[in-house]
């Protein structure tokens, strides 16, 4: 045996490298915030929003400044991340699809950790809808019962048919759904742990309704609210389907599609003088979410697990506050698809640094199993971000592909965003010169070669949804 071992090392040089049995068994704290746009966090440059706890996490790890969702909608984005299967391969494009209906044999991120000896528990909005309680994914999932619903009077400036619902609540944090879930997550971390743990805490905020205690509105005085830049007539150079997305709530599953007024949500908000109030309410809701994240992080810091727990914070997609005359998500533009992504890994990776390489949320699955030394899964569409966590400025050639409905895709490199819709319409934006995506260059002959190059990244396979929208 003494003679055979050196030979084995020569033939298989990775035999003594850090494998699953030799790497430290990190715990994982998984933090998800619903509808959280990158533009609203101070660690990403926002000068108004109060997010000290997320900022604290960013100082401990690596913040990805160009992280993008697989789809600008809750359900397909989350399912794609949790399964490692892109929407164009699964056929899950909208909120009306269920995980196991389309992917009955998928091994979710949580399943893989369970099979690798982890205790896997969760609370709040992790998956979307009924998929949240996928029994194969969890050892235990906390379900609240009897949560008090707080009422408030609608802002008198809002029209009766306005889609927006916001307002301060006369209550404490402890009456809120997200706060109660935070309390449960904290109690789980305080328990003796027989196994390494994977704890997922999914916040429903800042998703509508923007209703949180008054103190969070007080953090953002209306006179200090900054509105995003908007170009008058911005939609004039868009293809038909692109302009339609700006004015309509489009759910590609065909389950829901709400047409709005001809000029869209933005015109309605502006006409009634509600723009600043809407932005204030959104930021207040983010500050509430930040406070709950802070409670969970404080508990981790006090525990014996702090030095061996990976913390990942991400949002499922972006959110427009009037940019491109659009509100909500439901589009393939930068603000709809760009999301915060922060990794804190104890020891051995960069701290307090920014990574500007384009990455996808679908990369989280392979990254975590790589960091934790779990068996590799070759069927995943993403790739491990570990090299970027160790060296944030390293070369990274792969662009990100985003999908919103069958055959509608965006390709994002560090400089360019190329969008191609199923009806043939195209958009092209140069982010080096046009970060607001105001000038569509797709019809410019001088960019034909570039478009062809970017189009090579468009998926060749586009699985049909169960119900195709007519």
Active centre residues (catalytic): 74, 128
Which residues, in sequence order, are bridge partners of residue 339?
67
Distance CA 289, CA 211 (A): 12
- Token match 């971390």: residue? 189
194: Cα within 13 Å, side-chain hemisphere: 2
Contact 456, 397 (CB under 8 A): no
Q: Tell me the two tokens of residue 465.
A: 């949804």
- Give the 3-state secondary structure of residue 240: helix
Rounded CA gap, 14 and 7, in Å?
Answer: 13
- Give yes or no for a contact between 139 and 114, defined as CB atoms under 8 angstroms apart: yes
Q: Are strands 197-203 and 119-124 parallel, antiparallel or unpaired?
A: parallel
The CA distance from 372 to 433, in Å, is 40
Query: Checking DSSP bridges between strand 166-169 and strand 210-213, what pairing results, if any?
Result: parallel
H or E segment and range at residue 257: strand 257-259
The span from the CA of 368 to the CA of 373, in Å, is 8
Q: Which residues pair with 123 in a beta bridge?
A: 142, 201
How far, CA to CA in Å, does 307 sit from each of 113, 162, 180, 347? 19, 48, 26, 8
What CA–CA distances, in Å, run from 239 to 70, 280, 423? 22, 32, 9
∠168-171-174 over CA atoms, to 5°?
Answer: 120
CB-based contact 387:367 (threshold 8 Å): no
The CA-to-CA distance between both ends of the chain, in Å, stands at 68
CA distance linking residue 28 with residue 312, whole number of Å? 8
DSSP string, 122-172: EEESSSSGGGGG-TTT-SEEE---SPPPP--PPPTTS-TT-S--EEEESS-
CA dist list (Å): 332 to 229, 262, 306: 18, 20, 38
DSSP state of 253: T
* Residue 202: φ, ψ to 5°: -105, 115
């Amino acid at each position: 045996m003494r003679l055979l071992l050196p030979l084995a090392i020569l033939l298989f040089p990775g035999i003594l490298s850090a494998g699953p049995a030799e790497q430290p068994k990190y715990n994982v704290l998984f933090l998800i915030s619903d509808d959280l746009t990158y533009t609203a966090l101070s660690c990403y440059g926002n000068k108004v929003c109060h997010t000290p706890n997320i900022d604290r996490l960013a100082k401990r790890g690596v913040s990805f400044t160009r992280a993008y969702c697989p789809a600008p909608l809750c359900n397909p984005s989350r399912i794609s991340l949790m399964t490692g299967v892109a929407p164009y391969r699964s056929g899950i494009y909208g909120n009306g699809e269920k995980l196991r209906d389309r992917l009955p044999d998928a091994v979710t991120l949580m399943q893989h950790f369970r099979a690798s000896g982890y205790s896997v528990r969760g609370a709040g909005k992790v998956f979307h809808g009924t998929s949240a309680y996928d029994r194969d994914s969890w050892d235990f999932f906390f379900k609240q019962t009897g949560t008090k619903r707080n009422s408030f009077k609608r802002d008198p400036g809002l029209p009766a048919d306005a889609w927006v619902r916001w307002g301060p609540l006369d209550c404490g944090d402890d009456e809120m759904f997200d706060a109660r879930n935070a309390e449960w997550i904290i109690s789980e971390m305080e328990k003796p742990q027989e196994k390494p743990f994977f704890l997922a805490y999914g916040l429903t905020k800042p998703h509508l309704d923007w209703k949180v205690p008054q103190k969070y509105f007080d953090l953002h005085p209306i006179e200090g609210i900054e509105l995003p830049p908007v170009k008058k007539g911005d939609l004039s150079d868009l293809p038909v389907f692109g302009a339609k997305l700006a004015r309509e709530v489009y759910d590609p599953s065909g389950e829901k599609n709400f047409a709005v007024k001809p000029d869209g949500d933005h015109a309605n908000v502006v006409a009634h003088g509600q723009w600043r109030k809407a932005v204030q309410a959104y930021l207040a809701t983010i500050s509430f979410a930040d406070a709950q994240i802070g409670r969970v992080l404080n508990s981790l810091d006090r525990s014996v697990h702090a030095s061996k727990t990976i913390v990942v914070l991400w949002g499922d997609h972006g959110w427009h506050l009037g940019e491109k005359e659009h509100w909500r998500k439901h589009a393939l533009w930068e603000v709809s698809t760009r999301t915060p992504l922060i990794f804190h890994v104890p020891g051995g990776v960069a701290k307090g640094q920014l990574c500007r390489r384009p990455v996808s949320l679908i990369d989280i699955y392979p990254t975590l199993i790589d960091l934790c030394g779990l068996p590799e899964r070759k069927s995943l569409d993403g790739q491990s971000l570990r090299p970027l966590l160790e060296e944030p400025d390293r070369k990274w050639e792969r662009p990100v592909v985003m999908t919103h409905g069958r055959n509608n895709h965006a390709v994002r490199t560090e400089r360019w965003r190329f969008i191609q819709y199923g009806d043939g319409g195209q958009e092209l934006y140069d982010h080096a010169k046009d970060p607001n995506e105001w000038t569509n260059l797709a019809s410019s002959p001088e960019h034909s070669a570039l478009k062809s190059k970017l189009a090579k990244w468009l998926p060749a396979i586009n699985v049909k949804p169960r119900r195709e929208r007519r």
